[in-house]
Chains A and B, each alone.
Chain A
């Protein structure tokens, strides 16, 4: 198995991790460990949020760019690693 697959499996089996989603640049999930409806929901919403966040960062300084986004809520934490071609989303419940 490639390193990428192994790392994804490890993250998935990490303590408290609810799911991992890879979304392409249009907001369509291409790999997920959650069920369909949740995935679609997360993919669409997080994609928009990431675009907005990136736009904000770059508006302030066009040479800057967004590297990581963490969204902590009461129940869990959503971590997003954006890239030009995809988005990597991990949802974790850290207090488990």
Chain B
């Protein structure tokens, strides 16, 4: 099973090192040697597992830190990746936030966690409910938590630019309140996060559209009580099944966290769960090919060969969302030529807050739009100087890919109808429900 666990900084320094099966390998012999061979940055671009000198290395990356496990035998890489993800999540839950600094400050706590999570390389538990019985060390936070500190506002988990949806700083504090803290805030956050991937063909036809979504809960309630989450009643699973009379909210496939009780799900679409402290994904779902709504964007591209060696690209972008909705941060990139090294760009954009630049490494033009209201239409003209332009070069003008974020919106239409805690929590308890859709891979071919 697991032989060693490492947490490395982005420079490759050991923040945490645990030798689970007491191999008494010196650190020099294993990971460092491996990293010396390949360099830390390579971890960004290679698949795992990687093999070096009888050891297999499996790594994931969270918050700029590398979480690495080495193993000698033939364990399941799935187990190890899941474990590393869980370790990162738990570290975040216990330390409040995840950074080199917070890991350094809380190393004793993390060692204690690791001791309970892994024994002799066997994973024991990763549940906060069980762990809280054993963990003695208190988290050290760099500064006292303040509700008014909005510097690190952001939806937990999802990497997003969204702000001002909820006092989200609340979601980046340790789950176990330290004894010094007077007020314990009883809060619970439920997030519905969807990732959209779309391929639109060169003829404007939607070729593929997938949504991957999940319902995440982050819970600060000290005592475990039952929570009931009501979803849309017309929510249906599978191809044939249809429910209710309204517009159906349909997904193809659903999977649930093992703590979720589903006895009321079939009839009332209610998820029942006793949430553990910390962050969990309660439900994951997919929908492929049949979006209930049109994709948020339509793009009308034209590529022409201008006189001389100039390539003219007209892009007209229309947002098909209702006017109340808006998108934050839209980035559009298009590969312009791949075999050619030199070219220059001139542009005409419709508003000053937008920007466009040529990215030499990916040989693409990146057009950035900070905010894009529903129903609006934007256009841009790019003139690219391409030496030795031939008609074959037109074939090389590649697909357009877009990345964006859509707050307060789900593509599938999934909604949380209600969120009830029973028995009712004594004292103040706050409940937050947040929605966001962001692009995973949104490609328009030319």
* A complexed with B: no
Interface residues in chain A, defined as those with a beta carbon under 8 Å from any beta carbon in chain B: none
Interface residues in chain B, defined as those with a beta carbon under 8 Å from any beta carbon in chain A: none
